[in-house]
């Protein structure tokens, strides 16, 4: 959803426009706390310094928008909240009248973006939540676009990979809650579509990413790497260590562990054979692409999602 160009511009400048009721300095400038009503119907109440809005204040626009926050020399600068005429709002950091730093934008369709901003655009690390589907994009942004390494999280699966111009590109993987991962890559493909314009048929090429699966594996859980313990200088500690029940001879414990290991090996081998057979059958049937209906949800055209959100800039 676009959030650019939705700011209202304060008209109060350096010429003491409109009516003013408040403190002044010796030079007659607005200085201290005061209230101003501008010729266009906007109002401001807050701090002034040498004739300019400076410090904490509230600016109300005749359109219904308002800003509550900090000013520096007539510009929104610092921490503040801007409420737009359509009901959407931004709360966070400002610099030179622009969203800049860390902030939260709540859109009119209940989508939210939480993260970094640069010169009025989503830029840096941030999370965009799609209220309609419950999905969210967690990753990097460049000039308002989803770009870089990120994770697209859905209700029952997630995609991890790289994004460019709102679309996934290159190697990545889908992680499913049922306990498996599908590895593959997104390849750009051309889609032709014909349109008639001025009685001539024009063929346009649209580049879209297409998922190509390569393998299905078990979940790869991340575990921290711990330093290996050094063996004791002598064997006295091992001989005195109690068994699982707090007693028993070491020789009996070693034999029990050996029997357990053999039993586990016997139990795991059939599963492994079945898993290999399942994978082989999948390859014979040509099942290179994912057969989960949820994948279609992962291959999201983000530009279309944002266009549906329909924010109306002020």
The runs of H, that is alpha helices, within the chain are 236-240, 250-284, 295-298, 302-309
Q: Does residue 48 lie in a domain region?
A: yes
**Closest residue by Cα to residue 65 from 86, 38, 49, 46:** 86
In angstroms, the CA 106 to CA 83 distance is 10
Q: Is the dihedral of CA 162, 165, 170, 172 positive or negative?
A: positive
**Domain of residue 37, CATH code:** 2.20.110.10
Q: Over the stretch 136-172, which tens digit does the pLDDT of each residue have?
A: 999 999 999 999 999 999 999 999 999 998 899 999 9
- Can you name the residues that pair with 280 across neighbouring β-strands? none
For tokens 């929104």, the residue is 76
Q: Does residue 59 lie in a domain region?
A: yes
Number of domains the chain is built from: 1
In angstroms, the CA 43 to CA 54 distance is 15
| Full domain range(s) for residue 54 | 16-101
Q: Does residue 80 lie in a domain region?
A: yes
In angstroms, the CA 70 to CA 122 distance is 21
pTM of this prediction exceeds 0.95: no
In angstroms, the CA 112 to CA 121 distance is 14
Q: Does residue 142 lie in a domain region?
A: no
β-strand pairing of 180-197 with 66-72: unpaired
SS3 231: coil
Q: Does residue 76 lie in a domain region?
A: yes
Q: Does residue 238 lie in a domain region?
A: no
Q: What is the DSSP letter of 224?
A: P
In angstroms, the CA 276 to CA 283 distance is 11
Q: Does residue 72 lie in a domain region?
A: yes
In angstroms, the CA 280 to CA 274 distance is 10
Q: Does residue 233 lie in a domain region?
A: no
Q: Over the stretch 162-219, which tens digit does the pLDDT of each residue have?
A: 999 889 999 999 999 988 999 999 988 765 444 444 444 444 556 788 999 888 888 8
Q: Over the stretch 107-125, which tens digit does the pLDDT of each residue have?
A: 999 999 999 999 999 999 9
Whether 264 shows a pLDDT value over 70: the answer reads: no
β-strand pairing of 145-153 with 157-164: antiparallel
């Amino acid at each position: 959803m676009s959030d650019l160009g939705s700011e209202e511009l304060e008209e109060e400048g350096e010429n003491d426009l409109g009516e003013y009721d408040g403190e002044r300095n010796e030079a007659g400038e607005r200085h201290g706390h005061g209230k101003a009503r501008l010729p266009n119907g906007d109002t401001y109440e807050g701090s002034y310094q040498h004739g300019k809005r400076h410090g904490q204040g509230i600016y109300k626009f005749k359109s219904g928008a308002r800003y509550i926050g900090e000013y520096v020399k007539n510009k929104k600068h610092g921490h503040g909240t801007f409420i737009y005429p359509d009901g959407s709002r931004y709360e966070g950091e400002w610099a030179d009248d622009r969203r800049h730093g860390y902030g939260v934008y709540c859109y009119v369709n209940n989508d939210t973006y939480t993260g970094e901003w640069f010169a009025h655009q989503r830029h840096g690390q941030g999370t965009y939540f799609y209220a309609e589907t419950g999905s969210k994009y967690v990753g990097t942004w460049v000039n308002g676009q989803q770009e870089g390494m990120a994770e697209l999280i859905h209700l029952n699966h997630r995609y991890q990979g790289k994004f460019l111009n709102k679309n996934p590109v290159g190697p990545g993987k889908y992680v499913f809650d049922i306990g498996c991962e599908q590895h593959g890559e997104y390849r750009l493909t051309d889609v032709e579509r014909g349109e008639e314009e001025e009685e001539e048929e024009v063929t346009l090429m649209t580049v879209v990413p297409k998922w190509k699966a390569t393998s299905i594996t078990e979940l790869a859980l991340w575990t921290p790497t711990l330093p290996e313990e050094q063996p004791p200088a002598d064997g006295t500690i091992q001989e005195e260590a109690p068994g699982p029940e707090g007693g028993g001879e070491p020789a009996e414990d070693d034999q029990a562990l050996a029997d357990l290991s053999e039993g586990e090996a016997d139990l795991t081998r059939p599963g492994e054979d079945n898993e290999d057979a399942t994978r082989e059958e999948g390859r014979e049937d040509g099942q290179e692409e994912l057969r989960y209906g949820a994948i279609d949800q992962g291959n999201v055209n983000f530009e279309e999602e944002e266009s549906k959100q329909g924010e109306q800039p002020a």
